[in-house]
Structure formats: structure tokens, C-alpha cells
Amino acid sequence: MDFKSLKAYVIAFELAMKIFEISKKFPKEETYSLTDQIRRSSRSVCSNIAEAYRKRNYPNHFKSKLTDSDSENAETQSWLHFAKECGYLTKLEFEESNLKSEEVGKILNYMINNPGKFGVKVQ
């Protein structure tokens, strides 16, 4: 198994790509704030999952990187909320994106609480 086949990674990657597409329509004055931040945090969810998977020989590192991923996911939810309230996202775009993010969060928490199911040697 490769990290790219993990359900959390697949959904997080889809969300990051969706955010990339919908953030193209954000106003220019948001380029160096909201646009950059939401793209960065959503991509970081994926990269932290990849790092966690590569560190699965070290249970504490595995959990730590997944916790980082979960934190970035929460940050993404916060930016989505700002984007909705600023009128940059439709209600549907927000709801779909937020649901995906919530699903990623649930899977990440499952992975954190059940590392042995993901190749981590639990003592």
C-alpha cells in the first residue's frame, strides 16, 4: 500500500484540488492572505498524511504527523468559513467542501486511534 491509496489522502487531495479551483475566483486583494492560506493548509493535510505513512515504523512520529494533518484540516475549515462569510463561496461550495473536510478529520482520528491497522508496529 502507498500513502496515495489511503482514503484520508484521496479525499484530502480531492478537497485541496477543489479549493485550488474555487479559490481562483477570489478577489485579487485576497491573493496573499485568504487564497494563499487556504491553499497552503489544504495541501498540508495531504503532505502530512504522506509523511505520517512514511514514519509508520515509529508510532509516536506517525501519530504526531497525523495530528499535524488534523490541525491543518481544522485550519482549512476555518478558512472555508471565512471565504463563505466574505461571499467568495456559494453555500453549496462551502457545504460540500466542509463535509469533505469533516470526513477527512474523522478518518484521521480513526488512524490516530488505530495505528496498527495502518502498518504501525504497536507495542
CA distances from 47 to 32, 76, 102 (A): 21, 14, 18
For the chain, give the mean pLDDT. 96
Judge whether 109 lies within some domain: yes
Chain Cα centroid distance, residue 112: 15
Judge whether 102 lies within some domain: yes
What is the pTM assigned to this prediction? 0.95
CA distance 111 to 63: 8
Tell me the three-class secondary structure of the chain, residue by residue.
Answer: CCHHHCHHHHHHHHHHHHHHHHHCCCCHHHHHHHHHHHHHHHHHHHHHHHHHHHCCCCHHHHHHHHHHHHHHHHHHHHHHHHHHHCCCCCHHHHHHHHHHHHHHHHHHHHHHHCHHHHCCCCC
CATH of residue 54: 1.20.1440.60
Judge whether 31 lies within some domain: yes
Judge whether 123 lies within some domain: no
Phi and psi dihedrals of 48, rounded to 5?
-70, -35
Q: What confidence tens digit (pLDDT) does each residue in 35-86 have?
A: 999 999 999 999 999 999 999 999 999 999 999 999 999 999 999 999 999 9
Judge whether 121 lies within some domain: no
Judge whether 26 lies within some domain: yes
Judge whether 122 lies within some domain: no
Residue-range definition of the domain harbouring residue 58: 3-113
Q: What is the crossing angle of helices 91-113 and 59-85, to 10°?
A: 170
Measured torsion, CA atoms of residues 77, 82, 99, 59, in degrees rounded to the nearest 10: 0
* Total domain count, the chain: 1
* pLDDT reported for residue 83: 98
